[in-house]
């Protein structure tokens, strides 16, 4: 047995075979040593495999993201049989190209034809053709196109948020992101999906398919576990399940402290599906819907209609409880290839969050219209990310009003929304008094606030020891935000990972926070913590 220490990212015990995700940077050879007929046979086999993959993806994403978003894979499967694409592949093969290069070249040709048409729908299919060509080329070169579809513990050097969104959680029992920090978005996703997870360890390529135990509580990975380790792991898995049942039973008791202070315990989600898990774990609302996850792991922008459906599904699933939708927070580590996002020297300090939305007003309006339309079906709040000035907030609010007018003019029903802002830049903390006068609520994003307060990149594992979430600077920022928010009549909450830290529940409540918003997997623990506390002083 080999035991390797890593950083715990999400608690829990996983037992299963190791699956290593390699990302290949090799370019396939342009010309083949095989005959065109042999390359044609390789291409046809890859085409059948791609069709099976797409069908599977359609099914899994339909469960996780809804049928409309999954339809994209259906479109790509149909493109596999497109006679123009097949003919183009054949032409390149006859010229002696390898099948890998023939499909990529044919994909580019078909994409160019589509991009030249006046029809917007046809133009938008160009990305599908390219993605399909890439999928075929990956299959031909033996690479895995999607990660995590093999049951077991997935090890990856690092996963981008889009790759993490593409994970099939039904087959994934554990996740190890070797280079990711415990505050990265991939770590947040592992917590949201409730998958035991570690980061910061090196692996050997011969671990593939070896049996392993991932201990997310103590931060260890055991390869070829001995009998005692395996028995201990299975035993602790059972204990966790028993504990979970006990916590579920406490849902019957109200979410308030022993001395009677009620707390709003909300959930952080990224897809409508997660709202269901959140409800099962007793959340009282959604405090953060990271809407950018609707944009990740795909090749085209979700349409207004797709977004509307996702928000409407969420609000209906919440059955009258509040849903807080944060507008698109792309940029920094959340790169979306099909959006206009120039490479930046310092992306964490770049055009992200509200800055991106304000400089791409049509995209922003599309999202705001979808949110407003969904608000006709239940209580929705809209929240703006990465705000660093009052002017930005006012600009966002005035676009919201324009969207309301536009919907009115077109006779489209919409509902009123509450407005809030994230507090995740030091500037927003210092301006919290003025920001609070513009909105109904403030919500502190401690993940970003910590990195900007300490000038330490949250994605950099080497700075992990610096990123002390209990740093007095962060605590002072929190206290000041709560005070200013209350002074100007706002509800104040925390939706960063700090809200899920049981050691911080008492200090946060004593500072006066009204709302704690945590990932669905942390709801039961934090609820029990609240129920066990005595505040000893009224909430300010």
Chain residues binding ligand PEP by CB under 6 A are: 188, 288, 290, 329, 424, 445-448, 495-496
> Contact 500/521 with Cβ under 8 angstroms?
no
For residue 184, the partner it binds in ligand PEP, Mg ion, none, with Cβ less than 5 to 8 A by kind, is none
Give me 61's structure tokens.
């994403």
Helix (H) or strand (E) segment spanning residue 61: helix 36-65
Closest-by-Cβ residue to Mg ion is: 448
- List of residues 6+ apart from 21 with CB closer than 8 A: 144, 147, 148, 154, 155, 156, 157, 159
Cα separation, 49 vs 143, in Å, equals 12
Cβ nearer to ligand PEP, comparing 20 with 432: 432
- Residue 299's binding partner among Mg ion, ligand PEP, none (Cβ under 5 to 8 angstroms by kind) is none
Q: For residue 196, which phi and psi values (nearest 5 degrees)?
A: -50, 135
Q: How far apart are CA 422 and CA 416, in angstroms?
A: 20
Q: How big is the chain, counted in residues?
A: 540
> What is the C-alpha to C-alpha distance for residues 450 and 470, in angstroms, rounded to an integer?
9
Closest to 142 measured CA to CA, from 36, 39, 46: 46
What are 47's two structure tokens?
């085409």
In the bound state with Mg ion, the residue whose beta carbon lies nearer, of 424 and 457, is 424
Q: Which is nearer to ligand PEP, 128 or 501 (CB)?
A: 501
Instruction: Identify the residue among 216, 282, 378, 445 touching Mg ion (CB under 5 A).
Output: 445
Give me the phi and psi of 337, to 5 degrees please. -55, -35
Contact of residue 392 among ligand PEP, Mg ion, none (CB under 5-8 Å per partner type): none
Contact window for Mg ion (CB under 5 A) among 26-34, 128-136, 197-205, 438-446 = 438-446
449, 473 Cβ separation under 8 angstroms: no
Closer residue to ligand PEP, CB minimum distance, 225 or 485: 485
Q: How far is the CB of 173 from ligand PEP (least distance, A)?
A: 25
Quick one: what does residue 446 bind among ligand PEP, Mg ion, none, with the CB cut-off 5 to 8 Å set by partner type? Answer: ligand PEP
Report, in Å, the least distance between residue 327 CB and ligand PEP. 12
Q: Coil, helix or strand for 179?
A: coil
420 lies in the binding site for Mg ion (CB under 5 A): no
Binding mask 149-188 for Mg ion (x = CB under 5 A): ----------------------------------------
**Measured from the CB atom, is 332 or 511 closer to Mg ion?**
332
Q: What are the residue numbers of the active site?
A: 185, 495
Reference 122, options 58, 55, 75; nearest CA is: 75
The minimum distance between CB 332 and Mg ion, in angstroms, equals 8
**Contact track, Mg ion, 323-362, x by CB under 5 A:** ----------------------------------------
Point out which residues pair with 211 in neighbouring strands: 17
> Please, are residues 74 and 133 in contact by the beta-carbon 8 Å criterion?
no
User: Smallest distance, Å, CB 61 to ligand PEP?
Assistant: 21
CB burial readout 410-448, b (16+ within 10 A) else e? eeeebbebbbbbbbbbebbbebbeebbebbebbbbbbbb
The CB-of-29 to Mg ion minimum distance in angstroms stands at 43
Q: Which is nearer to ligand PEP, 60 or 447 (CB)?
A: 447
Output 43 or 295, the one with its CB closest to Mg ion: 295
Q: Dihedral of the CA atoms 279, 284, 290, 294 (nearest 10)?
A: 40
| Cα–Cα dist 462/184, whole Å | 13
Return the number of the residue (265 or 288) whose C-beta is nearest ligand PEP: 288
Q: How far is the CB of 448 from ligand PEP (least distance, A)?
A: 3
Count of residues of this chain found to bind Mg ion when the rule CB under 5 A is applied = 3
501 is in the binding site of which of ligand PEP, Mg ion, none (Cβ under 5 to 8 A by kind)? none
Partner whose binding site includes residue 495, from ligand PEP, Mg ion, none (CB under 5 to 8 Å by kind): ligand PEP
Q: Copy the structure tokens of residue 466.
A: 């610096």
Q: In whole angstroms, how close is the CB of 504 to ligand PEP at the nearest point?
A: 13
Q: Which does 100 bind (CB under 5 to 8 A by kind): Mg ion, ligand PEP, none?
A: none
Helices (H) and strands (E) in the chain, counts: 20, 16
Query: Shortest approach of ligand PEP to residue 36 CB, angstroms?
Result: 50
Please name which of 75, 178, 179 lies closest in space to residue 132, comparing C-alpha atoms: 75
- Cα gap 114→216, rounded to integer Å: 48
Residue 290 touches which of ligand PEP, Mg ion, none (CB < 5 to 8 A by kind)? ligand PEP
Round to whole Å and give the CA distance between 358 and 344.
Answer: 18
Nearer to ligand PEP, 42 or 458 (CB): 458
Q: What residues numbered 448-507 form the site for Mg ion, per CB under 5 A? A: 448
Contacts of 125 (CB under 8 A, 6+ apart): 75, 79, 114
Contact window for Mg ion (CB under 5 A) among 194-202, 239-247, 439-447, 460-468: 439-447
In whole angstroms, the minimum distance from the beta carbon of 270 to ligand PEP comes to 9
Residue 383's SS3 state is strand
Structure tokens at 314: 């969420």
Q: Work out what residue 156 binds among ligand PEP, Mg ion, none; the CB cut-off runs from 5 to 8 Å by kind.
A: none
**Residues near Mg ion (CB under 5 A):** 424, 445, 448
């Amino acid at each position: 047995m080999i035991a390797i220490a890593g950083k715990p990212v999400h608690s829990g015990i996983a037992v299963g075979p190791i699956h290593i995700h390699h990302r290949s940077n090799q370019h396939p050879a342009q010309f083949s040593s095989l005959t065109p007929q042999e390359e044609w046979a390789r291409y046809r086999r890859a085409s059948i495999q791609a069709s099976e993959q797409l069908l599977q993806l359609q099914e899994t994403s339909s469960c996780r993201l809804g049928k409309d978003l999954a339809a994209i894979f259906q479109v790509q499967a149909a493109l596999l049989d497109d006679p123009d694409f097949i003919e183009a592949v054949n032409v390149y093969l006859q010229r002696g190209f390898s099948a890998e290069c023939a499909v990529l070249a044919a994909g580019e040709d078909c994409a160019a034809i589509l991009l030249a048409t006046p029809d917007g729908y046809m133009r938008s299919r160009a990305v599908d053709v390219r993605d399909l060509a890439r999928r075929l080329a990956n299959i031909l070169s033996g690479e895995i196109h999607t990660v995590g579809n093999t049951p077991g513990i997935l090890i990856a050097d690092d996963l981008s948020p889009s790759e993490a969104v593409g994970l099939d959680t039904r087959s994934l029992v554990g996740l190890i992101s070797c280079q990711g920090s415990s505050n990265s978005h991939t770590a947040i996703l592992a917590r949201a999906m409730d998958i035991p997870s570690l980061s910061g360890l090196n692996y050997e390529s011969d671990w593939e398919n070896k049996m392993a135990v991932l201990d997310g509580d103590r931060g260890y990975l055991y390869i070829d576990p001995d009998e005692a380790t395996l028995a201990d792991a299975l035993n602790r898995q059972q204990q966790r399940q028993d504990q979970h049942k006990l916590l579920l039973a406490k849902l019957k008791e109200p979410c308030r402290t022993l001395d009677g202070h009620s707390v709003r315990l909300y959930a952080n989600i990224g897809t409508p599906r997660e709202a269901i898990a959140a409800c099962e774990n007793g959340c009282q609302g959604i405090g953060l819907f990271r809407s950018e996850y609707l944009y990740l792991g795909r090749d085209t922008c979700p349409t207004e209609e797709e977004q509307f459906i996702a928000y409407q599904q969420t609000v209906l699933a919440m059955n009258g409880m509040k849903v807080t939708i944060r507008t698109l927070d792309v940029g920094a580590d959340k790169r979306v290839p099909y959006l206009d996002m120039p490479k930046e020297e310092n992306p964490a300090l770049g055009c992200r969050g509200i800055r991106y939305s304000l400089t791409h007003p049509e995209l922003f309006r599309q999202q705001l219209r979808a949110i407003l339309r969904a608000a006709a079906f239940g209580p929705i709040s809209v929240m703006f990310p990465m705000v660093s000035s009052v002017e930005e907030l006012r600009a966002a609010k005035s676009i919201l009003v324009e969207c309301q007018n536009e919907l009115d003019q077109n006779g489209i029903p919409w509902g009123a929304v509450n407005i809030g802002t994230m507090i995740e830049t030091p500037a927003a903390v210092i301006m919290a008094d003025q920001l609070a006068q513009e909105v109904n609520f403030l919500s502190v994003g401690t993940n970003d606030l910590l990195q900007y307060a300490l000038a330490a990149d949250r994605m950099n594992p080497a700075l992990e020891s610096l990123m002390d979430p209990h740093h007095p600077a962060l605590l002072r920022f929190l206290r000041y935000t709560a005070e200013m928010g209350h002074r100007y009549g706002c509800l104040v909450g925390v939706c960063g990972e700090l809200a899920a830290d049981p050691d911080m529940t008492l200090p946060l409540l004593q500072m006066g926070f009204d709302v704690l918003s945590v990932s669905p997997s942390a709801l039961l623990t934090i609820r029990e913590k609240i129920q066990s506390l005595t505040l000893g002083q009224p909430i300010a």
